[in-house]
Copies of this chain bind each other. A is one copy, B any other.
Amino acid sequence: MRRVAIIGAGQTPYGDFPGLGVKELFAMAFKEMLESVDKGIDPREIQQAYIGSLSAGSGFQLGQLAPLLMGHVGLPNVPAVRVENACASGGFALYNAINAVASGQCDIALAAGVEKMRDVSSTKAKYWLGISGDTEFERLAGLTFAGIYAIIARRYMEEYGLTREQLAKVAVKNHYHGKMNPKAQFRQEITVETVLKGAPVADPFTVWDCSPTSDGAAVVLLCSEDRVKEFTDHPVFIIGYGIGSDYLALQDRDSITSFKATRQASARAYRMAGITPKEIDFAEVHDCFTIAEILAYGDLGFGEKGEVIRLLEEGETYLGGRLPVNVSGGLKSKGHPIGATGCGQAYEVFNQLRGRAKNPERQIKNAEVGLSHNVGGSGGTAAVFIYRREG
């Protein structure tokens, strides 16, 4: 199989854009992607497109979104397909695009994600997000995703002595990072007290434990190893990648304080890359709720379950620490436009590895290997990617 590199990436700011539909959001990210290709690229070089989206605006254009978007940027005849695994749709779009290049079906493929969530009320948004849980055993019983993750958080607190304050520190860290990211939805610092005093959502969560609903799009351009030099001398290679799945309903799982899908996806990615978690310089992980980042630390092998709380307590996952996590602000502060998230993570890793985090204060220094981690729903699916800069 052929090695695959990222040669360009673009991302809209995440947030509330009443004047922009999915087409405009996609075009904005697409334009930045083109401009990021060091030696330039004729868009007609793009041979295939894989686009992640859960529901493209709560029902606006559920079917065949991918060719619709490619048509809008003037590339109607680039074969395009939508890939959907809830909040991991972007990660799985990236996965399938890599396979298309690795298998030799094409040399240059686009992976992207887009979601338009702010054009409906949050009640409606909650409803359509619920379609990604187990409908029979969770959604129809009235469980929202905040409720599902709150159950997980309570259990984790019980089993590992995680405190409410420690949980809040995930949000505090990610808002600290997000404040520096000009593309983040929330650019304000918060304190543990802010989190604890926030409006209750699902015990133990307040609104500050939850990622927002967001509009946004992200685009990543992939190239086969043999053609990379035509477009850049600073490619970022995807040296390992893996996917995993599990039962959707929590009740069916062996454990609810760990996501088996993440463990499997990361084990595959580490094996393919031939490295251990210790060699990861920084990571973008799926913190849809504060507890999710704590789960990710353990499931990605950053430390033992329970013991990983230390990473946060001791500042290791802050920018400047041993293993910065979610320097973008994460889903919590940067925003979480469902289908876009997985490719938006790749955008951040790509720019950090190339020393182009834009705002110098948020640039991770001397990083060579990055990781991104995208979760579908409450752990029904996961995709993990390991990146290394070469040049």
Interface residues of A (CB under 8 A from B): 1, 48, 54-55, 59-64, 66-68, 70-71, 76-86, 92, 95-96, 98-100, 102-105, 128-129, 131-135, 242-248, 252, 260-261, 264-265, 376-377, 380-381
Contact = CB atoms under 8 A, between A and B. Distances in A.
Given A68-B380, A71-B248, A79-B244, 14 more contacts: A63-B86, A63-B131, A63-B133, A64-B85, A64-B248, A67-B248, A67-B380, A68-B248, A76-B246, A77-B245, A83-B84, A96-B96, A96-B99, A99-B100
Contacts of A1: 1, 103-105
Contacts of A381: 64, 66-67, 79-81
Given A105-B99, A134-B68, A252-B71, A245 B78 contact: yes
A96 B243 CA distance: 14
Contacts of A70: 245
A81 B84 contact: yes
- In the complex, the 5 A-B pairs of residues with the closest C-beta atoms, listed nearest first: A63-B132, A102-B103, A103-B103, A79-B243, A1-B104
Contacts of A264: 77, 79
A1 B82 CA distance: 24
A144 to B, nearest CB: 13
Contacts of A71: 246-248, 252
A66 B245 contact: yes
Contact of A77 (B79, B86, B132, B246): B246
B103 A99 contact: yes
A163 to B, nearest CB: 32
Nearest to A130: B63
B62 A55 contact: yes
B245 A80 contact: yes
A132 B102 CA distance: 30
A377 B380 CA distance: 29
Contact of A76 (B78, B96, B247): B247
Given A76-B252, A85-B81, A131-B61, A67 B246 contact: yes
Contacts of A248: 64, 67-68, 71
A100 B71 CA distance: 26
Contact of A67 (B99, B128, B247): B247
Nearest to A382: B79
Nearest to A136: B61
Contacts of A55: 62-63
B245 A63 contact: no
A125 to B, nearest CB: 13
A76 B381 CA distance: 10
B83 A83 contact: yes
A81 B92 contact: yes
A129 B63 CA distance: 8
A340 to B, nearest CB: 15
20 contacts: A54-B62, A55-B62, A61-B131, A62-B84, A63-B86, A63-B131, A66-B245, A67-B248, A67-B381, A68-B248, A71-B246, A77-B245, A78-B245, A79-B243, A79-B244, A79-B261, A81-B84, A99-B100, A99-B102, A103-B103
A9 to B, nearest CB: 22
A39 B103 CA distance: 28
A8 B183 CA distance: 48
Nearest to A53: B84
A244 B68 contact: no
